[in-house]
Amino acid sequence: MKPWVASHRETRDRLSDYLDDELDARTRTRVRRHLARCKRCQAMLESFTRTLEQLRTLGSVEPVEPAPATVHAVVERIRLEEP
């Protein structure tokens, strides 16, 4: 193992802290160096970043009122399934 580059496991385990800028300088550098060389970990970081971005938007989106026809269809389906 190269002490100046993080392993796959270390990189994977520290992605959240890496994105939150919560790693000490040495560890951040090791993870950054690994990411610069590893396509698999780059893809994991991109996926993780997209997921976090989508989660952040959940609270900012206004709920959509269902169409009356949809509500009626759901209620009817429930009635049909009742014993």
In a domain, 2, yes or no: no
Band (pLDDT 50/70/90 cuts) for residue 55 is confident
Better-predicted residue by pLDDT, 57 or 20: 20
Q: Is residue 1 part of a domain?
A: no
Q: Is residue 40 included in any domain, yes or no?
A: yes
pLDDT of residue 36: 93
Which pLDDT does position 17 carry in this prediction?
93
Q: Is 15 exposed, middle or buried (0-12, 13-18, 19+ CB in 10 A)?
A: middle
Instruction: Please check whether residue 36 lies inside any domain of the structure.
Output: yes
Q: What is the pLDDT of residues 60-69, one digit of tens each?
A: 767 788 888 9
pLDDT digits (tens, 9 = 90+) for 6-45: 888 889 899 999 999 999 999 999 999 999 999 999 999 9
Domain of 43? Answer: 8-81
18 contacts 50 by C-beta, under 8 angstroms: no
For residues 74 and 76, give the distance between their C-alpha atoms in angstroms, rounded to a whole number.
Answer: 5
Q: Give the number of domains in the chain.
A: 1
Whether 19 is covered by a domain: the verdict is yes
